[in-house]
Amino acid sequence: MTLHITKRFDFSASHRLEGLPESHQCARLHGHNYAVELELSAERAALTSTGFVRDYGDLSVFKKWLDDTLDHRHLNDVFEENPTAENLAVWMFGQWTKDFPELTAVRVSETPKTWAEYRP
């Protein structure tokens, strides 16, 4: 039996997407109130002695990184690729899978109705 936990984090940032027609709304400078969800998973036999996949408190280092690295920034200046939600999800997964080996997915939302998910 596999158990999953998820925690949501929020940040605000601006970006513009390259490679789109000038008339496309995402080609223009704009901002989002992003939501990021980290999903961690473990088999029941691999839970901590307390019964956790991982203590949610351990994820506070991710929140600090998110605030220090992306919050109230222009993502084109921080991120080497086109800062789409899809690319951000892949990048965040790669940045944090070593610290959180239980990490199974990263979801990035730019609006309450849209999500990109990376689940290798």
Active site residues: 26, 72, 110
Calpha distance 4→108 (Å, rounded): 17
> Are 4 and 40 contacting, i.e. CB atoms less than 8 angstroms apart?
yes
Please, which residues bridge with residue 109 across strands? 35
Cβ-proximal residues to 25 (8 Å cutoff; 6+ apart), any chain: none
